[in-house]
Every structure is written in structure tokens, then in C-alpha cells.
Amino acid sequence: MNTATNLNELAANRCFGGWQKRFSHTSSVLNCEMTFSVYVPPDAANGTTVPVVYWLSGLTCTDENFVSKAGAQRIASELGIMLVIPDTSPRGDDVPDADDEAYDLGLGAGFYINATQAPWAKHYRMYDYIVDELPNVIQQHFNVHDKAAIAGHSMGGHGALMIALSNVKRFSSVSAFSPIVNPMDCPWGQKAFSHYLGDDKSEWQQYDSCELMREQGKFLQIPMLIDQGLADDFYTTQKLAKPLEDVALATSYPAEFRYHGGYDHSYFFISSFIEDHLRFHAKHLAEYV
């Protein structure tokens, strides 16, 4: 039996007939106090059971970036979807950070994996937090369906894709903007994985979407939508999106990849296409609701 988790409501704002809320709670998985945001659509506020889309944000972000910049609440209200937006890493005075205050390691850069190396292993277990602890908290405190969808941006796109490919029966669909898809072979991923997981690259494979799709894509599949801006400064340097499309083509994986001229890595890109992503998830969530 799951122990009930107490929530501390930090903010509540009326929004498109529903509520944009922010909470904190003590995480037993991450051994620290965590914050997350929730958009509660009007249907949920009135007691109806609703589906959930989890959104995972990218490097340097907190749960507040998506809330204030993506413009997702209007369409979530229309579709009757709850949005759950966790932080990107553990936080707190006792939580280790990069010695050089680098933006791509430590606070704000949890990479949604379970660290095994000191000093990270005690707190940096974002995989377990996203897959198990946070959904249990949401189930305890909100009237939601068991089946959910998951989406994310950049590092969060990596997290969404990797978690969905590892838990295909847990999610109805997955989508991503500008995702890190092959962290074993890009600078951001190699830096994070070597610190969090050590030098044995066989330990990295379980968190690499290209490896996961290559290994199981012909047998275990989940509906997938990926958008990539072609003016993204990181598209080539971090090998975003395209390596996974290559694997999808090789394995006949039915994922949709869309490339957009002129769009960069920012939330201007996300806000331009977030409606497409939420409608994509609503379509697949409807099969279970």
C-alpha cells in the first residue's frame, strides 16, 4: 500500500475555467522537497475523472517554464486534460550540484535517470520519481485515469521518449520537441551519463531512446510525435531528433517526425505547436477513457 503524501499548495490561479496550481511535497525517492505544477481542467475541478499528460522540461528549467510560456492551458481546458509538470531535478541545500556551476549537470539537469555514482546517487533518481512516485501522488490527490500520456522538450524530450519506450503499457502516447534522442552519442548526454552512471556504457543503454527503439521497436510500440526546428542551434551539435528517425525507419516504427524551417529551440517553438501535441495525446487517451 502506498503511504499518503501530504501536499503543500504554493499557488492557485484561475485559468480557462480551471485552475493552474503549484505544490510542494517531500519526496522519499529523491530525499528532498520537490515542487510540481498541475493544470486542473474544469471537468476535473467539477469532480469528473480526467486523463493526464505529463510534461518533462529541459535543461535549466523548473516546473514553471512550461506553465508560463507554452500556452497549453487553453487547449487542455477544451480537451479536459490534466497537465502535470514536475521539476527537472532534485533541489535543496543538501543536493549536490556541479562544481563549476555548469548548466548541463547537477541542479536543473537530472536527465530523468537513476544515478548510481557518488555524490549523485542519493538524490538524482528522477526516473523512479517520474515513473512511480509522482504518478502515485497524482492518483492520491486527483481524480484521474490510470492511463496517461507523456511529452517533453530537449532533455525532457529525452526523458519522455526514454520513459515511454521503457514503459509502453503505462502510457497511451508520447511526444517531444527538439529531443535529445541518442544521449550516448552527444555532448550533453555523455557528460551527464558519465557523472551519474559511471564509465560503463552498457549501463547507459537503458536510458538511450535510440538503443531502446532499436532493441524492441519491432515488438513494443507506442504512438509517437516529434517536432524539430531546423533553426535550432543544438539540432546538429547535440544530434537532436534525426538519429531516432533513422532508427524508426530501420525498424519500421510508426513514429511521426516533423521538421520546421525557421524555428529554434525556444518556447516560441513549443507554443506554436503545443496544440497539435495535446490533440495527438487526446486522440490516443480517448481509447482508454
**Does residue 223 carry a pLDDT above 90?**
yes
Long-range contacts of 247-251, Cβ-Cβ distance < 8 Å, separation of 24 or more: 247/210, 247/213, 247/214, 247/217, 248/213, 248/217, 248/224, 250/214, 251/213, 251/214, 251/217, 251/218
Write down the catalytic residue from 154, 175, 178, 209: 154
Q: How confident is the model at residue 1 (pLDDT cuts 50, 70, 90)?
A: very low
pLDDT one-digit tens code per residue, 127-183: 999 999 999 999 999 999 999 999 999 999 999 999 999 999 999 999 999 999 999
Beta strand 171-177 with 224-229 is parallel
Q: Which residue is catalytic, options 195, 265, 277, 284?
A: 265
The per-residue pLDDT for range 172-201, each reduced to its tens digit, is: 999 999 999 999 999 999 999 999 999 999
Domain that holds residue 47: 8-286
45 within domain boundaries: yes
1 domain-assigned: no
The pLDDT score that the predictor gives to residue 171 is 97
**Is residue 128 annotated as a catalytic residue, yes or no?**
no
Does the residue 2 lie in any domain? Answer: no
Amino acid at 127: Y
The yes-or-no answer on residue 145 being catalytic is: no
Query: Is residue 226 scored above 50 in pLDDT?
Result: yes
114 found inside a domain: yes
- Coil, helix or strand at residue 279: helix
Q: Mean pLDDT, to the nearest integer, of 29-50?
A: 95
- Give the sign of the dihedral formed by CA 103, CA 269, CA 50, CA 147: negative
Catalytic residue among 232, 277, 281, 284: 232
* Domains: count for the chain: 1
Looking at residues 86-107, what average pLDDT do you find?
95
For residue 150, give the nearest of 178, 125, 175 by alpha carbon: 175
CB contact at 8 A, 274 and 75: yes
**Per-residue pLDDT at 288 exceeds 90:** no
Q: Is 178 a catalytic residue?
A: no
Identify whether 79 is part of a domain.
Answer: yes
**Residues 6 or more apart from 282 whose CB is under 8 A from it?**
51, 79, 81
Q: What is the pLDDT of residue 116?
A: 98
We report the CATH number of the domain holding residue 23 as: 3.40.50.1820
Residue 111 is assigned to a structural domain of this protein: yes
Stated length of the chain: 289
In a domain, 197, yes or no: yes
In a domain, 3, yes or no: no
